[in-house]
């Protein structure tokens, strides 16, 4: 059970020089240094457990997030952990509704990134104290208790707490007995969704071989290695130069063959008409989706792109820079995306991501989380494993990203995240 009083909050600015090798480069972020604001919570409990939380950044600006974390610290220090998780919705609102700090948000930008880091640390500490990995803490939680962690303010016009409870109740009924395996070449038999995650893991895709700054020789080498390692889903960065995109996409499609999945990511580079025209030229390579084709704030623009590309069989994916649950609500209402990409550090930690997962279920839109930065894969695997076991129960059109600087996430066999049983968030 949750125990102890938070006696210390510290935060570190951690950076990796990924720009030196072009790692992580795309059409808008040409020289990223993958970084993180890294929060550590300590308590006066005798167990000595600590909570660790991060938010992802690209180098310059990490120091600004660190300042924002320190500005939030007074809401956390000397608080009893049991009191925090006993009224997690209230604690979330306390952080996001600070009467002065919310003026530089609200619930968006630097202050929200800092909120995510602090809350990620609280969730990590709670899961460790319960002796469970985060996904298991969520899966085992009573639905009413789980919903008490979510702030439903601003989204009740599309999802009420009672509707969310019905979704979770259906998940409770099914998660121990629901569904046949969706894996080819496996005899169809009924297994629990939790057992499936523990034995097979969650599907993942890679962008590691197709960063925009890589020369063709590097791209070919890494793509070949990924194929040997068993990857079946590949994403390529596009958007800077059309002819270069055509050449690189042709190279990758020829390497991976016609049966494997290819996705594309423009990282917000285009205007709406430009996105439609550009993707019409790239349609020959049969991408499953185009990710972030335009400004992440342009909901109606995404809707227009989505409608225009539907006849070409190309979906729209977005979410890694969606500020909060309200933006996701409107994207879903406008039918502006076919693949929803939560981010474990852009939104307000687990609390806000739970709200978005439940909205996605109501609108029947598959969730394919954004990850790939420092620690993002380690964090997001807990959210998507929870989603599969307790909410969506489907792997159709779903996968999560695996590519990053630093230590890689645990993979269970070829191209899948492992359902781990270690406590906390790895």
User: Residue 417: what pLDDT?
Assistant: 47
Tens of pLDDT, residues 303-358: 999 999 999 999 999 999 999 999 999 999 999 999 999 999 999 999 999 999 99
User: Residue 53: what pLDDT?
Assistant: 97
**Contact between 314 and 287 (Cβ < 8 Å):** yes
User: Residue 187: what pLDDT?
Assistant: 42
Tens of pLDDT, residues 238-289: 999 999 999 999 999 999 999 999 999 999 999 999 999 999 999 999 999 9
Q: Which residues of the chain have pLDDT under 70?
A: 174-191, 397-426
DSSP state of 391: I
Conformational region of residue 35, where left means phi above 0, alpha means psi within -120 to 50, and beta covers everything else: beta
User: Residue 147: what pLDDT?
Assistant: 98
SS3 306: helix
Could you give the CA distance from residue 78 to residue 88 in angstroms, rounded to a whole number? 16
Task: Show Cβ contacts of residue 274 under 8 Å, excluding neighbours closer than 6 positions.
Answer: none
Q: What is the DSSP string of 305-343?
A: HHHHHGGGT-EEEE-TT--SHHHHHHHHHTT--SEE---
User: Residue 43: what pLDDT?
Assistant: 98
The catalytic site residues sit at: 237, 370
């Amino acid at each position: 059970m949750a125990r102890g009083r938070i006696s210390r909050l510290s935060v570190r600015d951690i950076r990796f020089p990924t720009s030196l090798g072009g790692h992580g480069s795309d059409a808008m972020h040409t020289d990223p240094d993958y970084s993180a604001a890294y929060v550590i919570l300590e308590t006066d409990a005798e167990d000595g457990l600590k909570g660790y939380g991060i938010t992802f950044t690209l180098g310059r600006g990490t120091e600004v997030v660190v300042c924002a974390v320190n500005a939030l610290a007074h809401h956390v220090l000397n608080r009893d952990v049991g009191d925090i998780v006993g009224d997690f919705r209230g604690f979330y609102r306390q952080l996001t509704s600070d009467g002065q700090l919310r003026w530089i948000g609200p619930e968006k930008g630097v202050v929200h990134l800092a909120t995510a880091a602090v809350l990620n640390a609280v969730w990590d500490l709670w899961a460790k104290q319960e002796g469970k990995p985060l996904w298991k803490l969520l899966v085992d939680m009573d639905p009413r208790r789980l919903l008490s962690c979510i702030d439903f303010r601003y989204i009740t016009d599309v999802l009420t707490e009672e509707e969310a409870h019905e979704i979770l109740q259906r998940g409770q009924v099914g998660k121990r007995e629901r569904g046949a395996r969706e894996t080819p070449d496996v005899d169809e038999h009924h297994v629990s969704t939790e057992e499936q995650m523990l034995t097979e893991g969650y599907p993942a895709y890679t962008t590691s071989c197709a960063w925009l700054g890589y020369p063709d020789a590097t791209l070919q080498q890494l793509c070949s290695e990924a194929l040997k390692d068993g990857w079946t889903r590949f994403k390529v960065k596009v958007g800077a130069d059309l002819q270069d995109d055509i050449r690189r996409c042709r190279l990758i499609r020829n390497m991976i063959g016609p049966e494997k999945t290819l996705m594309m990511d423009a990282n917000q580079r285009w205007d709406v008409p430009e996105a439609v025209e550009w993707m019409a030229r790239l349609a020959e390579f049969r991408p499953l989706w185009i990710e972030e084709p335009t400004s992440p704030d342009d909901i109606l623009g995404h809707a227009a792109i989505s409608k225009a590309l539907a006849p070409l069989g190309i979906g729209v994916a977005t979410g890694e820079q969606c500020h909060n649950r309200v933006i996701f609500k409107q994207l879903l209402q406008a039918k502006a995306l076919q693949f929803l990409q939560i981010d474990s550090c852009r939104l307000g930690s687990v609390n806000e991501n739970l709200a978005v997962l439940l909205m996605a279920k109501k609108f029947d839109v598959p969730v394919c989380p954004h990850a790939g930065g420092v620690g993002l894969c380690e964090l997001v695997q807990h959210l998507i494993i929870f989603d599969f076991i307790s909410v969506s129960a489907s792997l159709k059109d779903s996968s999560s990203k695996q590519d990053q600087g630093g230590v890689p996430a645990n993979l269970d066999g070829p191209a899948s995240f492992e359902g781990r049983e270690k406590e906390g968030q790895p």
